[in-house]
Amino acid sequence: MMQGRTHTCGALRIGDVGEKVTLSGWLENMRIVSAGLAFIVIRDFYGTTQIVAEDEETVGRFKEIVKESTIQVTGVVRERSSKNPNLETGDIEVVPESVTVLGACRYSELPFEIRHSREADEQARLKYRYLDLRNPDVKKNIVLRHEVIHALREAMIAHDFLEITTPILTASSPEGARDYLVPARKHPGKFYALPQAPQQFKQLLMVSGIDRYFQIAPCFRDEDARGDRSPGEFYQLDMEMSFATKEDVFSVIEDVFPPVFEKFGTYDRASKAPFLRIPYLQAMQEYGTDKPDLRIDLKVQDATGVLTDCGFGPFASKAEDGTETKVAIKAVVVSDFTGTRKQIDQMLADIEVQAGVKPYWFRVDENGEIVGGIAKFVQPVADKVKEALSVKNGDFVVVTVGKELAALKTAGVAIKLIGASVPGHMDKEQYAFCWIVDFPMYEIGEESGEMEFCHNPFSMPSGGLDILLKAERGEIDPLTIMADQYDLVVNGIELSSGAVRNHDPEIMVKAFEMVGLGEEDVKAKFPAMYNAFCYGAPPHAGIAPGIDRIMMLLAAEETIREIIPFPMNKNAQDVMMGAPGEVTDKQLEELNIMVTLKEKDENL
């Protein structure tokens, strides 16, 4: 027996007939048949139960209660004459003896119908999230989140990881995103920062002698929202291992994740160990992305050698003024696609919208003729194209062009869209994991034009100090240096980046010198970690898969907001609580802060 009720609204069965019970929950619905007969549905966290009022007084009592009020009903269970096989409680009903309002709903008009809240405007759902969560279809994702986190926690502990919480108030650190800053009242003019990730703390735990660490870690980054990323805050399964290589990390993840995905996921198939490992450069060349969806059987092929200078302007190797264009031409060959011209045009338009680059097309008919799209330019080199791309009768070919990376990325978008829309090219109902490995340590920044870290400055360069010294001496191109980094990808979504860490101060300083930063810069930016490593740091490695993205995949939701209990909107606003909000002058004075707002340009 529970306080205020003998049973939950999802508990009663045919074996409870004749028993006197007390139920508590929300009045979900009421259907009045006559003055002396009404059917009422009461709902709680566990389910629903039908209540039957069979006299005018009781019907009148229920008529006074507004829907979604919290009520308590005491009555006798009986067998339903008209059973509902779709409900767990569909064999019984309760005839009430007393009805008590525990918490009245004072609004006759709700912002949305509870059972149909997912159809409501998103801003309304976020503002009245407590009502939205009453919808069992919405609530189930939150319950699922609890179950998954519990399973992950148990699995990590079974692998001898120690759960440790790291600080929320810390120092600002250059980790790739904007910090959320917190003014320090006792230290005027100084600020804490909310951690973008527990990266430095977990590495310091390794130096401290903690062998295996994990936590379900909150992370804070002031960045824009996306469908698979919540603005402001998110959670990750953060882990780190001492005396470990990437093989140790892979072993743990490949043991922990498949059972969780198979048990709790929308699909009951997941990749088994070992996951496919794809070098970064190979992933870009074959899939047009470093986040390939292995459920799709399409790949990128290079058509530069057979289509350059075929007479089609965008494929020309030289511009009108004679300068070389360094054009790259990529192709995606699709079998069994019989789409209409209208469907083709729409598909290509969708690719262009997502990639920002216009794709082209042609197809090979049943007679082996090149038809449609850019066919007249392809026809003169048809035999070479067919041989180079292994094109056969009935195939449809998407062609992308531009600088190498742009052409590849456009082809990658084509693979994603075609795989999802053309039957036969996607084995959808599974979780296909892979590791992306061998990332370049450095790249030339698009904006700066200078050498920058490509992925993670804390990673160990493959080859250690020797490879950095060779680059310093000019014996190798520094852009060819690989990092001991890896990404975990499933169904085209990056769950996490990880790495074998650079635990040697000498190697760390040399790695930063390659991007123009000296030892003093490293000491200034990462003082605790640099100093700690000077006291003897063990080799260590880790990873931090995102909990929110895991949940989005398991629940098969389109947006990450559906699996977060109280999400912000796309503008990083909590419309329910009114955050961010203004504070009083007294609060600002205590913090030694003055707010000055820039005037908006009305012409913008």
Structure tokens at 61: 């009592």
The string of DSSP letters for 153-167 reads: HHHHHHTTPEE----
Measured in degrees and rounded to the nearest 5, phi and psi for residue 73 equal -125, 130
Q: Amino acid letter at 27?
A: L
What is residue 43's three-state secondary structure? strand
Q: What confidence category does residue 577 fall into, taking pLDDT thresholds of 50, 70 and 90?
A: very high
User: What's the rounded Cα separation, in Å, for the pair 518 and 581?
Assistant: 41
Q: What confidence category does residue 274 fall into, taking pLDDT thresholds of 50, 70 and 90?
A: very high
Contact 522, 510 (CB under 8 A): no
Contact 399, 329 (CB under 8 A): yes
Structure tokens at 369: 């003729």
The number of C-alpha atoms within 13 Å of 439 and in the hemisphere containing its C-beta is 25
Q: Amino acid letter at 262?
A: E
Interval 205-240: pLDDT, tens: 999 999 999 999 999 999 887 766 788 899 999 999
Task: Report which of residues 526 and 370 the model is more confident about.
Answer: 370
Beta strands in 35-164 (DSSP E): 37-44, 47-53, 70-79, 92-103, 162-163
Measured in degrees and rounded to the nearest 5, phi and psi for residue 50 equal -85, 130
Nearest-10 Cα torsion for 105, 107, 111, 114: 30
User: What's the rounded Cα separation, in Å, for the pair 554 and 260?
Assistant: 9
Interval 76-121: pLDDT, tens: 999 999 999 999 999 999 999 999 999 999 999 999 999 999 999 9
Q: Amino acid letter at 409?
A: K
User: What's the rounded Cα separation, in Å, for the pair 208 and 240?
Assistant: 12
Domains located in the chain, CATH noted: 14-103 (2.40.50.140), 137-243+542-587 (3.30.930.10), 271-279+289-295+427-537 (3.30.930.10), 298-312+327-423 (3.30.1360.30)
Q: Tell whether the model's pLDDT for residue 457 goes beyond 90.
A: no
List the one residue out of 517, 542, 515 whose CA is nearest residue 530.
517
CA angle at 84 for the pair 82 and 89, rounded to the nearest 5° = 110
Interval 39-82: pLDDT, tens: 999 999 999 999 999 999 999 999 999 999 999 999 999 999 99
% of the chain at pLDDT higher than 90:
86
Give every CB contact of residue 173 below 8 A, 6+ residues apart in sequence.
179, 193, 196, 200, 525, 526
Mean local confidence (pLDDT), 116-139: 96
Within 10 Å of residue 325's Cβ, how many Cβ atoms? 15
> What does DSSP say about strands 300-302 and 328-334: parallel, antiparallel, or unpaired?
antiparallel
Please give the pLDDT value at position 454: 85
CA angle at 217 for the pair 212 and 220, rounded to the nearest 5° = 140
Structure tokens at 52: 């039957």
Mean local confidence (pLDDT), 467-483: 94
Mean local confidence (pLDDT), 17-37: 96
Structure tokens at 587: 């609060």
Q: How far is CA 519 from the centre of its chain?
A: 36
Q: What confidence category does residue 598 fall into, taking pLDDT thresholds of 50, 70 and 90?
A: confident
Mean local confidence (pLDDT), 435-443: 95
List the one residue out of 512, 395, 517 whose CA is nearest residue 465.
512
Give every CB contact of residue 348 below 8 A, 6+ residues apart in sequence.
358, 359, 360, 361, 398
Q: Tell whether the model's pLDDT for residue 601 goes beyond 60.
A: no
Please give the pLDDT value at position 227: 65
User: What's the rounded Cα separation, in Å, for the pair 373 and 360?
Assistant: 7
Within 10 Å of residue 79's Cβ, how many Cβ atoms? 12
User: What's the rounded Cα separation, in Å, for the pair 462 and 467?
Assistant: 8
Within 10 Å of residue 54's Cβ, how many Cβ atoms? 11
> What does DSSP say about strands 328-334 and 276-279: parallel, antiparallel, or unpaired?
unpaired
% of the chain at pLDDT higher than 70:
98
User: What's the rounded Cα separation, in Å, for the pair 395 and 409?
Assistant: 22
Mean pLDDT across the chain, nearest whole number? 93
List the one residue out of 130, 116, 134, 137 whose CA is nearest residue 45.
134
Residue 525: enclosing H or E segment and its boundaries? Answer: helix 519-525
Interval 487-533: pLDDT, tens: 999 999 999 999 999 999 999 999 999 999 989 988 888 899 999 99
Q: What confidence category does residue 604 fall into, taking pLDDT thresholds of 50, 70 and 90?
A: very low
